[in-house]
Amino acid sequence: MSPLRPDGLGGRAAVAGIGATEFSKDSGRSELSLAVEAVRAALDDAGLAPGDVDGLVTFTMDTSPEITVAQAAGIGELSFFSRVHYGGGAACATVQQAALAVAAGIAEVVVCYRAFNERSGRRFGSGVQRREPSAEGVALGWQLPFGLLTPASWVAMAAQRYLHAYGLTPEVFGHVAVTDRRYAATNPAAWFHGRPITLADHAASRWIAEPLRLLDCCQETDGGQAIVVTTPERARDLRHPPAVVLAAAQGAGRGQEAMTSFYRDGLTGLPETGVVARQLWRSSGLRPSDIDVGILYDHFTPFVLMQLEEFGFCGPGEGGDFVAADALPLNTHGGQLGEAYLHGMNGIAEAVRQLRGTSVNQVPGAARALVTAGTGVPTSGLVLGTDT
């Protein structure tokens, strides 16, 4: 795509339904069961039936294949199915894939889903236990022998450099944790409902990988989330006002690796997020000042600050002050730190609720929402808006 020309996707697809399972630490069910429950809930929310669906999109990491979900959910023939790689970086790209299919007329109703037993089953936070040889895994061979075994340890490298470069202390990360938990405390669906924290709580939490403390790291969750994407025209005839896809983008930076891009020119930013930001602003015609609510991927607090800076909400090193000032309503569902870790899919659902006016922490008059996906890996983003 030309770096000088916006794409033509904006306004040609919309989110018409959202649905989720309970967010728990031990679902007691299979991941397929969670996926089907979320898909059916999203279709019910939209006022659609399984037979209306002709497309499915998920993550390469998901264990429930599209055809198996279709069979179990009562969905018939599929004309489109797709998967997106790089873990949480895929979240917004699932909606982008669905929107592309809808805009091209390949499918009319596409459901994006993600479901896992990430707490009771495979825990990503436990790090690399075993890995089959692959070209993608070669980069880890430069990190694992030196003790960088977990996602927290990989992010800690960048976080430490960020603090050093800007003369900051780990307290700046605490502002993200406190903000997320404040919103989670009033969200009945959140795991940390009724449990806000303070900066003192953040500073007192145990070290995980300096300078990251426990409260800088997202929780681990069992659950599922699904998103229904269709044409704006069809969405207008359904149960809820559509959340229109104003722009969608993917991005990978130069020298990109999956969580271990330590040999790039610098460690104080997220170049992959910069690629996404430029595409979203160019294609939507919007700027940071036009955004009413930000749903930023918060697997680790430092990367939230870097995302704000890459998107131009504030200058380099100013993300902590920006969050502390409540300059933008941020992760109003509680984020992955407070609500649930669903690889960012629950964040897309919260953006939709904000645009519908149904969030438990509603931003008055919210009409434009920015959503981001996992960072440190090739990533993606969305700008969603009301149907005006």
Residues with catalytic annotation? 297, 341
* Nearest by Cα to 21 from 165, 169, 224: 224
Please give the helix or strand (H or E) that residue 381 lies within, else none.
Answer: strand 379-386
Cβ atoms of residues 19 and 73 within 8 Å: no
Q: CA angle, 187 as apex, 181 and 192 as ends, to 5°?
A: 45
**Distance spanning both ends of the chain, measured CA to CA:** 28
Which burial class, exposed, middle or buried, applies to 1 when counting CB atoms under 10 A from its CB (0-12, 13-18, 19+)?
exposed
Position 104, amino acid = A
d(CA 21, CA 221): 11
Could you tell me if 218 and 152 are in contact, meaning their C-beta atoms sit under 8 angstroms apart?
Answer: no
Neighbours of 37 (CB within 10 A): 22
Spatial separation of the C-alpha atoms in residues 363 and 366, rounded to whole Å = 6
- Go through the chain and tell me how many residues it has: 388
Asked whether the CA dihedral 79, 85, 88, 90 is positive or negative, the reply is: negative
> What are the structure tokens assigned to 325, written together?
């000032």
**How far is 22 from 77, CA to CA, in rounded Å?**
29
- Phi, psi for residue 201 in degrees, rounded to 5: -65, -40
Cα-based distances in Å from 261 to 16, 197, 211? 37, 32, 18
User: What is the largest distance, in Å, between two alpha-carbon atoms of the chain?
Assistant: 58
Give the three-class secondary structure for 278. Answer: helix
Please say whether the dihedral angle defined by the alpha carbons of residues 305, 328, 285 and 381, taken in this order, is positive or negative. positive
Peptide bond into 211 cis (omega under 30): yes
Cα 190 to the chain's mean position, in Å? 16
